[in-house]
Amino acid sequence: MFCPRCGREYDPDENTRFCPSCGSPLPIESFSDQKSGSDEAARRDSYDSRERNLGEDAFIYSCPWENIEELGFLQAIGATLRQSMLAPVRFFTSMPRTGGWLHPLLYAIIIGTMGNLAGYVLGALFEIPLISQSKMSPGMTLFVGMLMPLLVWFGVMLWAVILHGSIILFGAKKKPFEATLRIASYASSPDILNVIPTIGWAIAAVWKLVLVIIGIREVHRVSTGRAALAVLFPVLLIWGLFFAVFFIVMATMAFTSRPL
C-alpha cells in the first residue's frame, strides 16, 4: 500500500499507524481492510458506519499532488500518477472530497497536455502513419500547443458534468459535484499514455473508464454495478448518437448522389 502523503509504499499492519517514511498518519481504511478482506459490501458498510458515528473527521484524506508544497513537483506528480493508476482503490478512498478545484484541474491539465503533445511530437519525428501524414506547420503546432491546456480543461469539466448528471440519474449521488470533478481529474492519469503514438489513446481511454468507475464507487460509496452503469451509460449513449448521425449523413449523401 502507498502513503497518501508521500507516495511511498508500506506494509499494512494493525500496529502501523504512521508512515515509516514521512511520519504522516495512515488512512484508517488500511487497517479495517485487513479484517474485511475483499468483501465490498462489508467494507462499504464499515466506512458508512464510522462516518455516521464519527463524521468525516474519522478519516485522513490526503493526495500527494495536493501536498506539492511539501513534496516538490516531481515527487508529488509521480506519486499521484503511480497511486491513481496502480492502486486506484486506495487512492480514491484517501482522496480529499473537497479543498477546491484548482489542484485536481491543474493536475489533469498538466498530464493531458504533456501526453498529447509528446505523443504528437514523437509520432511526427518517427514518421508514425496518420500522425506524420497530418503534420502541421510550425505556427499551427505552436497554436495547438498553446490551446491544448484549454482543451483539456474543457474536456475534464464537460466529462465531470456528464458524469455527475448520470450519477444523479441512477441514484448514486452521495457527494457534491466537486467530488465528481476530482474523480474525473485524477482519473485522467492514463492520459500520460498518449505519449505512445497510435495506440496510447486507446489504452488510456479504457484505463480511464476503469479508474472513474472505481472512483465513483469509493467516493460516492455505491456498488460496482451502479458505478459502472453511471459511467458507461453516457459513454454508450454518446457513441450511439455519433454512429446514428454518421449513418444518417452517409445515407443522405448516397441518396443525393444517385442519378435521377
Out of 22-31, 133-142, 152-161, 170-179, which region has the weakest mean confidence (pLDDT)? 22-31
Average pLDDT in the 235-244 region? 90
Cα separations (Å) of 79 from 5, 67, 228? 9, 11, 26
The three three-digit cell numbers of residue 32, written as one number? 479495517
Furthest CA-CA distance within the chain: 83
Out of 28-32, 174-178, 219-223, which region has the weakest mean confidence (pLDDT)? 28-32
Task: With H, G, I as helix, E, B as strand and everything else as coil, classify residue 16.
Answer: coil
Return d(Cα 243, Cα 238) in angstroms, integer. Answer: 9
Read off the pLDDT of residues 210-227 as tens digits, 9 standing for 90 and up: 999 999 999 998 889 999
Percent of the chain whose pLDDT exceeds 90? 43
Amino acid in the structure at residue 221: R
pTM over 0.75: no
Q: Is the alpha carbon torsion for 162, 166, 172, 174 positive or negative?
A: positive
Checking phi first, is residue 198 left (phi over 0); if not, alpha (psi -120 to 50) or beta? Answer: left
Residue closest to 183 by CA, chosen among 69, 60, 96, 110 = 96
Which residue would you say has higher pLDDT here, 249 or 61?
249
Read off the pLDDT of residues 85-113 as tens digits, 9 standing for 90 and up: 999 999 999 899 888 999 999 999 999 99
Average pLDDT in the 128-149 region? 66
